[in-house]
Chains A and B, each alone.
Chain A
Amino acid sequence: MMLRNAYEWYFQRITGGLLLVLLAMHFWVEHFMTAPVRRGDLTFQVIAARISNPLWQAIDIGFLLVALFHGLNGLRNIILDYGRLGKRGAGVLNIALILIGAVWAWWGITAFSRL
């Protein structure tokens, strides 16, 4: 079993469900909603027009945070599933993944800093 405890199981399912909705919306917005995106011409101007709205920024940042939790927690499950890490190793892994997630989130959030 890849699941370590009930909370982890619960959050992986909840974030998975959220991603289903958010990703379907993201796919529609970036590939089908307007004529330029249907042609695949995603330019700065096309993205800036949408992202200048604070609500879209909030949605996209929330989306990134949910995706990072789900992805890095999934990576953690895979690593722990090999059973090679002791209690201390698992602690180091947790801290490393939290730091990676924080930097990754910051990297994405600051993309909007000049829009």
Chain B
Amino acid sequence: MVAWTLQRVTGLLLLFYLFLHIHTISKLSQGPAAFNEAMATFHSPLFKLLEIALLGTVVLHALNGIRITLVDLGVGVQKQRQLFWIVTVGVGVLVFLAGAIPMFIFAVLKV
């Protein structure tokens, strides 16, 4: 139930993000000034942290999706609870940190 809810909530969030993303990207057709102005909002540290949160949302959805596919294919049906903790949460934390730490260092701290 936790994983099921998680997959739906993260899926809806990502679809909503795709809407915002295309809304911003569509400004490319209005020329450099309009696009750079639209992007200026996203250069603040707050938005960099939200980008890192977006990475977390993607990683959860992707790894839980892999787990669901494995279980559907009959892999680890008996151990699907452990699969949730190992694949979705365990591997998810590692993948998230692998992306989030450099993002934080380069884009937030600007080292």
A contact patch SS: helix
Which residues of the other chain, A, contact B1 by a CB distance below 8 angstroms?
none
User: Judging by beta carbons under 8 Å apart, are B62 and A23 in contact?
Assistant: yes
Question: Would you give the shortest CB distance from A74 to chain B, in whole angstroms?
Answer: 5
Interface size on B, residues (CB 8 A): 36
Interface residues of A (CB under 8 A from B): 9, 13, 16, 19-20, 23, 27, 31-32, 38-45, 47-48, 51, 64, 67-68, 71-72, 74-75, 78, 104, 107-108, 110-115
Question: What are 23 inter-chain pairs, A to B, with CB distance below 8 A?
Answer: A9-B72, A13-B72, A16-B65, A19-B62, A20-B66, A31-B103, A38-B107, A39-B107, A39-B110, A40-B42, A40-B107, A43-B35, A43-B36, A44-B36, A47-B35, A71-B15, A71-B18, A75-B11, A75-B12, A78-B12, A111-B27, A111-B29, A114-B28
Whether a CB of chain A sits under 8 angstroms from the CB of B82 is: no
| A22 shortest CB reach to chain B, Å | 11
Interface residues of chain B: helix, strand, loop or mixed (majority) = helix
Which residues of chain B have C-beta atoms less than 8 A from A115's C-beta?
28
| Min distance, Cβ A8 to any Cβ of chain B, angstroms | 13
| A42–B40 CA distance with the chains assembled, in angstroms | 9
Q: Do B11 and A44 have beta carbons less than 8 Å apart?
A: no
Asked if A75 and B99 sit within 8 Å, CB to CB, the answer is: no
Which residues of B are found within 8 Å of A67, using beta-carbon distances? 18
Contact A107 B26, beta carbon cutoff 8 Å: yes
Is the CB of B97 closer than 8 A to any CB of chain A? no
Q: Mask for B32-61, Cβ within 8 A of A = 1, else 0? A: 100110010011000010010001001000
Instruction: Collect the chain A residues with CB atoms within 8 Å of residue B42's CB.
Output: 40, 42
Residues from chain A with Cβ under 8 Å of B76 in the complex: none
A-B pairs, 5 with minimum CB distance:
A40-B107, A44-B32, A71-B15, A38-B106, A44-B35
How near does chain A come to B18, taking the closest CB pair, in angstroms? 6
* Contact in complex: A111, B15 (CB < 8 Å): no
